[in-house]
Every structure is written in C-alpha cells, then in structure tokens.
C-alpha cells in the first residue's frame, strides 16, 4: 500500500470521526437520554448529516489520490457508527 493511499484512508477516517463526535453525544449518553421518538429522529438526522459530510470528504480525498480506498473505509466506519447508535436508541448497548 502506497503512503498516499494510507494517508488518504487515515485522513478520511479521522475526518469521519470528527464529524460524528462534533454532531453527536456518545452512544452511552444517547442510550440514557434519547427517550421520545422526536429525540430518536434527531439522533438519526444527525448521524446521517455526519455520514454525508464524511462521504463527501472521502470522495474529495479519493479524487486527490486517485484511489477508492478512502471511500470504502469511510463507508465501513459510517455503517459501524450507525449500527452502534441504532443499538443505543434501542437500549441494547
């Protein structure tokens, strides 16, 4: 794996983590305090905003380095975050 590929993957994952941590509380906090359907809808909206921002960043990085790996890595991380937040909304952490 070339250094530019590794850097593209790393930067896209760091960016995704920052989007999620900026827009959302921790999954534990979500599990404890998201009680109403309105609360749950807000959490879902925020994690979708985070996913979109993350994927836009990944596409930009993939375009710069001419590799698809930043997009793939970001998609996997976003799916993991969505899975964790959905479990927290269901009180199953």
pTM reported for the whole predicted model = 0.92
Give the pLDDT confidence score for residue 68 in this predicted structure.
97
Reported as a single tens digit per residue, the pLDDT across 46-78 is 999 999 999 999 999 999 999 999 999 999 999
What gap in Å lies between CA 35 and CA 80, rounded to an integer? 22
What gap in Å lies between CA 56 and CA 34, rounded to an integer? 28
Give the pLDDT confidence score for residue 11 in this predicted structure.
97
Percent of the chain with pLDDT over 70: 99
Give the pLDDT confidence score for residue 39 in this predicted structure.
96
Give the pLDDT confidence score for residue 67 in this predicted structure.
96
- Burial (CB count <10 Å: 0-12, 13-18, 19+), residue 44: middle
What gap in Å lies between CA 6 and CA 69, rounded to an integer? 9
């Amino acid at each position: 794996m070339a250094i530019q590929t590794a850097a593209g993957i790393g930067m896209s994952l760091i960016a995704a983590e920052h989007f999620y941590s900026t827009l959302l509380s921790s999954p534990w906090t979500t599990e404890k305090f998201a009680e109403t359907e309105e609360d749950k809808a807000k959490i879902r909206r925020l994690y979708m905003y985070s996913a979109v921002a993350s994927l836009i960043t990944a596409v930009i990085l993939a375009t710069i380095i001419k590799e698809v790996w930043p997009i793939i890595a970001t998609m996997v991380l976003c799916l993991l975050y969505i899975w964790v937040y959905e479990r927290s909304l269901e009180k199953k952490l």
